[in-house]
Structure 1
Amino acid sequence: MGEFETRRGAAPAARQTLFLVFCIGNERYALQAIDVVEVLPRLPLKPIARAPAWVAGVFAWRATVVPVIDLCTLTFGHSAEARTSTRLVLVNYRPDPQQAAQVLGLILEQATDTLRCDPADFQPYGLENRQAPYLGPVREDAQGLLQWVRVNDLLDESVRAVLFPTPPLNLDDLEVRP
């Protein structure tokens, strides 16, 4: 039997999706890789006055001011540890499918691994957590539970107004003027 016949007769493969795996403390989480724009080392940030504690600041990336949140602080109230594996992960943030995606930075601990699996492997965990709607279903594997973080559910309306003002910030507006 030829290769074509073998493929045609095989059962359809499960829908596989790539995830970026990271940790908060000892717990594992994952983002869909399709949401990731770029993974950078942790960079210096300019703080935003009077922003929530989990807003780490902003930085300039490709002539755009990008807001950055510390997912450890957002989720559990303590800052991400400064490790060599702590990354600044840029994601496409689109809370409204009718609007263009905006780049949002996430400080993530141990963001060095990926996982390819069927998204259907993630199952609801039985709690409705209105304080953290971005924490999605969980998947069990040999290392324990892995929780899916939904990027588009990270920010509420009031924080979006602070981080993504209308009109958007321009780098020229941030320059010191005499």
Structure 2
Amino acid sequence: MHRELITFEIASQIFALDIMAIREIRAWTPVTPMPRVPHYVAGVVNLRGSVLPVIDLAARLGWAATEATPRHAIIVCQVNGQSQGLIVDSVSDIVALNTEHLQAPPTAGQDEVIPFLEGLVAIDERMVMVLDLHALSASGEHAFAA
């Protein structure tokens, strides 16, 4: 079975998401911070009249918070019936993936990241981490802006 993925970069690492979950890719827009939200929720932005929660994906993965600049992007995706934005350093390519090549995440290593991985795949001699959007959103802690 084949899937299409969008690849992007965070902290010099290559990640991917299933293209079917992506609604749009936006240029960086400053967010409005919200009180009493998890540390990885950067804030909210106005998306054509709707409030869109924006997740700092680096912080969500257990890394340092992103110091966003106009070079960053927001990937708007739909998960569990809710739209959310993900801050990424840059968006790279659309790639085709044969699901037979997707390998399970290692059992040792970056413990912060592994629970959020669907798997790993080598694409053009680069190791790409395929994220599981449902796992990233499982806590429901950012449903405040639904």
Q: Contact conserved, 1:85 with 1:112, CA < 8 A, in 2?
A: no
1:136 matched to 2:118: yes
Kindly indicate which of the two structures has a greater share of residues assigned to helix.
Answer: 1
1:42 matched to 2:28: yes
Kindly indicate which of the two structures has a greater share of residues assigned to strand.
Answer: 2
AA partner of residue 122 (structure 2) = E
- TM-score, structure 2 as length reference: 0.85
1:69-105: CA deviation from partner (whole Å, max 9, x where unpaired): 01011113212354554211110011xxxxxx11011
Runs of 5+ consecutive residues of structure 1 not aligned to the other structure: 1-14, 95-100, 170-178
CA RMSD of aligned residues (A): 2.2
Q: Contact conserved, 2:5 with 2:17, CA < 8 A, in 1?
A: yes
1:114 matched to 2:94: yes
Could you say which residue in structure 2 is the equivalent of 1:16?
Answer: 2
AA partner of residue 124 (structure 2) = A
In the TM superposition, residue 158 of structure 1 has moved relative to its aligned partner by: 5.3
Give aligned pairs, total. Answer: 144
* Cα distance in 1 between the residues matched to 2:47 and 2:26: 11
Could you say which residue in structure 1 is the equivalent of 2:105?
Answer: 125
Could you say which residue in structure 2 is the equivalent of 1:104?
Answer: 84
Higher RCO (C-alpha under 8 Å, 6+ residues apart): 2
Q: Which moved more, 1:69-78 or 1:36-45?
A: 69-78
Runs of 5+ consecutive residues of structure 2 not aligned to the other structure: none
Structure having the higher Rg = 1
